[in-house]
Amino acid sequence: MIYKKYIFDLNKNNLNFLKWHKVSFTFSTILVISSILSIVFMGLNLGVDFSGGLFIEARTEGAVELSEVRARLNALEIGNVALQSVVDTDHTIIIRLQQRESETGDAATQHAALSQIRKALGTRVEFRRTELVGPKIGRELIASGVWATVIAILAITGYIWFRFEWQFGLGSMLALLHDVAATVGLFSVTQMEFNLTSVAAILTIAGYSINDSVVVYDRVRENLYKYRKAPLEALLNLSLNETLSRTLLTSVTTALVVVAILTFGGEVLQSFAVAMLWGLVVGTYSSIHIGIPVLIFLNVQQPPQD
């Protein structure tokens, strides 16, 4: 008790984060399980990148009326058509056409749909970019996205394990898995389009989350040597409080940038921005309430006293 009081007297404004670690673990468990159940039963709204279909960037001579374009394309009955206007211009639109379940999704079918779209929009529309994604390529992209995420998590865990101790590596892995599951679950619950940009957002969130964890872990390691007689829980609490201002400032400044992307980036970047905002919240939360409290359960050893 003497050492615990001494540590908390170093900063009278210390917040006792670890007091509620059982509540935070329960909340995180419910969040992850809910995300997994949503993914299993509701699935993901896969974009053209993964499900296959057409991606078209078109430019018109005048302002674009999306409702008129949508009416023309829906009349073709060629599948689920999604339209987006490009930010900072009224003359460019993005057209995404997903393959219908009854179609084979081969190249001939997609070329036929492209021809119909060209005829429906007329000669006043310039097709600046056209991409055809088949189901096979979509499946390969899904596998590549999953492998990229898994390899990133394992590489980050290995780095933390090498730099600190195995308990820190396992703690960072649990925090990362929590963030990834919660973010993918968000896409499932909201049914936002999940595409390659979404995978990029998940990997960015993983990098951001581990950056927070490394800062806190580094302070924990310093305090383990500085306060060798102190109770572990008090020492971890002190480390969290000493790095709290840096964590909050980083989160807030990053969030301001993401809000700007969400506000002015248009629908093309909407899913990326929403995922990043959510990732900032869960990433900061996991660094404080998962990555650090788990060290108590893993029984991190303090260096022997001199």
Strands (E), 3-86: 45-46, 53-60, 80-85
Domains and CATH numbers, the chain: 2-46+137-297 (1.20.1640.10), 53-133 (3.30.70.3400)
* CB neighbour list of residue 125: distance below 8 Å, 6 or more residues apart: 58, 59, 60, 118
The model's pLDDT over 234-274, given as tens digits with 9 standing for 90+, comes to 888 888 888 888 888 888 888 888 888 888 766 667 788 88
At 33 the pLDDT is: 92
The 10 Å Cβ neighbour count of residue 256 is 9
Average pLDDT, the chain: 77
The model's pLDDT over 130-185, given as tens digits with 9 standing for 90+, comes to 777 666 666 777 788 788 888 888 888 788 888 777 888 888 888 888 888 899 99
Alpha-carbon span 52 to 79, nearest angstrom:
12
Tokens of 59: 């430019």
* CB neighbour list of residue 150: distance below 8 Å, 6 or more residues apart: none
Strand partners, 94: 57, 84
Tokens of 31: 């969040």
At 160 the pLDDT is: 80
Residue 14: strand, helix, or coil: coil
Taking 70 as the threshold, does the pLDDT of residue 32 lie above it?
yes
The model's pLDDT over 60-74, given as tens digits with 9 standing for 90+, comes to 776 667 777 777 777
At 9 the pLDDT is: 47
Residue 196: strand, helix, or coil: helix
